[in-house]
Amino acid sequence: MKTKIMQKLGMSWLILLFLSLPALAQRDTLVQVSTIDALLGGLYDGSMSIGELCRHGDFGIGTFDKLNGEMLVVEGTVYRVRSDGGVDIVADSETTPFAAVTFFDAELQKQIPAGTDYQSFKQWLDNLLPSPNLFYAVRIEGRFRFMKTRSVPPQHKPYPALAEVARHQPEFAFEDVAGVIVGYRSPAFVKGIGVPGYHLHFLTRDRLAGGHILGFTVDRARVTVDQTADLLLRLPETSGFSGMDLGKDRSTELKQVEQEHR
């Protein structure tokens, strides 16, 4: 009888371990909704709920249905930086057409030299990272002498391309501001799928302002990095995505949208 009980207990532990494996594997995975080229082409209809997105990670960036603002996921809370510069906490029922999240686990921490600007920061951190061919979640927290951001207003059908929206996007400038930067450093080979290099969003410490980063200068700040080699891509099962021409090279459009200064 004792042997049978032990066998049943052993089988139960095996079942529990098997069921937990997907969750364990996913914790160190970058989960992305749709592709950057689809977003560049004007596919702004949300395809995943914010509630489902948060089951895949507690850290990340993206945007919302109809391109309604810039997304930051910070410690499991989803924030929207609106086109008027204000910030909302977003309900689980809202949706996203493009986002990337992961569960953030700090692996590398460094103090950033004072006076480092955005361009210098990218070169500085690249020299510290073990490989340019992996994905890195990047979190920076501290005070900045200068911060320049932008956000985008909600769009209406027929949707214009993102490069056109970016020409008229509101921009915001901050001086002597404290807050957190959230985003990713991605490999060059993700061209068309994600944003190669750095893609970062900012949120002030009081959670009242922020946006997609165009430039900054560090006063006192620390960077924390989480490396991952796993990417899970969730493509929209919609007629808009299925019928879209994704063969076009949109590198120039991406540069226009992501550029640091206009």
Which residue, 55, 194, 206, 57, is CA-closest to 143?
A: 206
Distance CA 121, CA 146 (A): 14
Give the global pTM: 0.89
Listed in sequence order, the residues at least 6 apart from 245 whose beta carbon sits closer than 8 Å to its beta carbon are: 41
Domain architecture of the chain: domains with CATH: 23-258 (3.30.1330.80)
Neighbours of 206 (CB within 10 A): 10
Residues 6+ apart with CB under 8 A from 250: 36, 37, 40, 41, 192
| pLDDT of the residue at 15 | 37
Nearest to 101 by CA among 26, 164, 151, 45: 26
- Torsion over CA of 249, 250, 255 and 257, rounded to 10 degrees? 180
Give 10-residue mean pLDDT values along the chain (262 residues).
Answer: 42 38 65 98 98 97 98 98 97 98 97 98 98 98 98 96 93 98 98 97 98 98 97 96 95 84 44
Q: Measuring CA to CA, which residue among 72, 73, 76, 67 is closest to residue 96?
A: 67
Q: What is the mean pLDDT of the chain?
A: 91
Peptide bond into 158 cis (omega under 30): yes
Q: What is the pLDDT of residues 7-54, one digit of tens each?
A: 443 434 333 333 444 444 478 899 999 999 999 999 999 999 999 999
What percent of the chain has a predicted confidence (pLDDT) above 90? 85
Neighbours of 245 (CB within 10 A): 7
Q: How far apart are the first and last CA of the chain?
A: 76
Which residues, 6 or more positions from 168, have their beta carbon under 8 angstroms from its beta carbon?
Answer: none
Interatomic CA distance for residues 206 and 194, integer angstroms: 30
What is the structure's pLDDT at 256? 87
pLDDT at 259: 67
Tokens 């371990």 identify what position? Answer: 17
